[in-house]
A and B are shown apart, each in its own frame.
Chain A
Amino acid sequence: ETGVTQSPTHLIKTRGQQVTLRCSSQSGHNTVSWYQQALGQGPQFIFQYYREEENGRGNFPPRFSGLQFPNYSSELNVNALELDDSALYLCASSFGPLETQYFGPGTRLLVL
């Protein structure tokens, strides 16, 4: 059984660009949650996808968007990147929206 995987591991972008981060959920999981962790802070909830629909969103602007595919993998898209978007982006998958979340290794995004 494979765990949660994320790609790429590291990414460097410039301000104003767009970025797509990917997450493959653990086998049997139908829910993916995304978190942003700025340096020195705890992770902050961005949104959750359950059965291909957004199922809750944190305090993030609309330029943060997502998708979930029929195989339950997920993408996080960020448009018009800002310097403050530099962070570790974590995804977590679970058997359902209220079940225990299992985290991937994260994608480190640096915006210059």
Chain B
Amino acid sequence: DAKTTQPNSMESNEEEPVHLPCNHSTISGTDYIHWYRQLPSQGPEYVIHGLTSNVNNRMASLAIAEDRKSSTLILHRATLRDAAVYYCILRANQAGTALIFGKGTTLSVSS
């Protein structure tokens, strides 16, 4: 499986934008980029996914580099509730594949 590299930790202030980077230089053409997050004492939850184009949903935006070797998860206005571990995961969109979690980035949000 192609690997992802994320910073161990990042800090943000409440109501400021947060840009969480992910490097995936060995990504293959069929790999989708998924982001999940895990709040304290909870199971992971899906945030967003994309293939080539930038994507937006109610939770976040995903910016994908033109060469697809890196991506950035953007939280437009961080809240205290966004403090979590954020996982960037590559996954082929085909039957029989599963999520392989990397170490993730621990995001701290201060008021």
Whether chains A and B associate is no
> Footprint of B on A, CB under 8 Å?
none
